Amino acid sequence: MKLLKYELKKLFSSKGILLLIAILLAANAVLCFLSPSKTADHQSDEKYIAGYQNDIRRVIRLAELNIADLSGGGDGYIIDYQKKVIEKYSALINAGQTPESVIGYNEYILFSGQITLLLVLAVVIGSAVALCEKDAGMKPFLGISKKGRSVYGVKLLSLLFLSITLTAIDSLTGIILCGIRYGFSGVFAPLVSVQSLELCPYPIHIIEYIGILFVMGVFLTFTLSVLSALVGKLSGSYLLTFLCGGAVCAGLYISDFDINNYFIRYRAVNMFGMAVDAFPVALIALLFICAVLCTIFCFLGNKQTTLGDKLHRAELMLLCSIHSIFKRFTKIRKPRRAKRHGLYLYELKKVLISSKLILLVILLLGAKLYIGIGDISRDDLYEKEYYRLCAELSGELTDEKSA
């Protein structure tokens, strides 16, 4: 426990790491708050709930027609997949699962599945945990100390703790901001109450799905942080570690990776001609990769490759060159003028800070922000109702519309 506290203290003593974590979390919060609502094209709750059973039956009929078309011969995986579709959605119909009217969770779930910035944080903390001893010149002592090898197990525990903490902060930030902007209701409703997940094949509730998103976020963050720590441990280079971690994050972003994709509809993987649920397979594969990376990280000890030594020396030369260039330009700059507004700054400090007037200013700004958010949410509700009426009353005038 002492070593774990020491590792965390050593990491959080770096102001640069703390600043970068704060910037990325703030950027994620801003994106969550400013992201436009993607539910404008959704149906009204009444129409969606009334048509849910028919939509599920339509999916079952399509699967039955596909099996009939392939009865003369076809890929065994495709036929097994269609049978699994019929089995999964028939179970939902027989269980009598019915959507309910919910508020706020459509927007929250659509945003929470994308965790690219959280994975960037994983790269940062993984490289910092692995390379801090090398920066301080203490790495050789780990190989001869009594508890040198156990330090790497403690580093893994610290990465797991940080992954849980950062994922929890990210999830709570999204919940708080979406709650402020849209409001929440129906946390115990079935997951299919979220219209973007209408064809989810699993009979789970919204609160359970939020827990699944949190656990998946923790596993993904921890796995990528261990990968970054392993690359940093072998190479001794921040540059190579950031490049490898950045390549993984960029690949996931370009491929439009989203945890929600496993629940939008039934997905399966082809395993020896059989259709197997994709989500359990992906979870087991992630756990296996994480276990392999953790094992390699612990058993490698202080080993470092020759390529890593060369990269570390090249990185030091590059940093020295950048520092010398920056120092040369700073010498050319003109000398600073003496400050002439010291009394003004002192008066402002005396009025705002010493008299606690700054607290009143912050309170008023917070009240203004809250009122503005309320206006935005009211406008959204008005716009939704307006578009709903336009969709229902469009076209020729009939007796039903005139009524």
What pLDDT band is residue 379 in, cutting at 50, 70 and 90?
A: very low
Least confident segment among 79-83, 94-98, 351-355: 351-355
Fill in the DSSP letter of residue 200.
-
Inter-residue contact 295 to 137 (CB < 8 Å): no
Q: Which residue has the tokens 């058993």?
A: 299
- Rounded mean pLDDT, 132-159: 66
What is the rounded CA–CA span in Å between residue 351 and residue 349?
Answer: 6
pLDDT more than 70, % of the chain = 64
259 with 278: CB under 8 angstroms?
no
Average pLDDT of the residues in 275-301: 88
Query: How far, in Å, CA of 158 to CA of 222, rounded?
Result: 10
> Nearest CA to 42 among 109, 94, 92, 113?
109
State the Cα–Cα distance between residues 35 and 113, nearest whole angstrom.
Answer: 14
Domain chopping of the chain, boundaries:
2-331, 345-397
More confident residue, 82 or 323: 82
pLDDT at 290: 92
pLDDT digits (tens, 9 = 90+) for 5-28: 766 776 667 666 677 777 777 777
The separation between CA 306 and the C-alpha centre of its own chain, rounded to angstroms, equals 36
175 confidence band (pLDDT: 50, 70, 90) = confident
Q: Which pLDDT score, from 0 to 100, does residue 219 have?
A: 92
Cα gap 20→263, rounded to integer Å: 33
Report whether pLDDT(344) > 80.
no
**What's residue 77's pLDDT?**
84
Task: Write the CB contacts of 90 (distance below 8 Å, at least 6 apart in sequence).
Answer: 60
> Confidence class of residue 224 from pLDDT cuts 50, 70 and 90?
very high
- Whether 174 has a pLDDT exceeding 50, the answer reads yes
User: Token pair of 280, please?
Assistant: 């359990």
Hunting for tokens 């930030």 — which residue is that? 173
User: Would you say residue 150 has pLDDT above 80?
Assistant: no
Question: Which pair of structure tokens corresponds to residue 22?
Answer: 């704060």
Q: Among all chains, which residue has been given the structure tokens 């020759």?
A: 306
**Site of tokens 């709750």:** 45
Contact (Cβ atoms closer than 8 angstroms) between residue 214 and residue 171: yes
By mean pLDDT, which of 224-233, 306-315, 381-390 is the weakest? Answer: 381-390
Query: How long is the chain?
Result: 403
- Name the one residue in this structure whose structure tokens are 């115990």: 188
User: Average pLDDT for residues 326-351, to the nearest whole number?
Assistant: 58
356: left (phi over 0), alpha (psi -120 to 50) or beta: left
Q: Cβ-count burial of 34 within 10 angstroms (0-12 exposed, 13-18 middle, 19+ buried)?
A: exposed
Q: Output the pLDDT for position 378.
A: 46
**274 forms bridges with which residues in the sheet?**
271
Whole-angstrom Cα distance, residue 181 to residue 47? 24
Is the pLDDT at 231 greater than 50, yes or no?
yes
Distances from the Cα of 41 to the Cα of 26, 38, 114, 195, 380, angstroms: 29, 7, 21, 10, 13
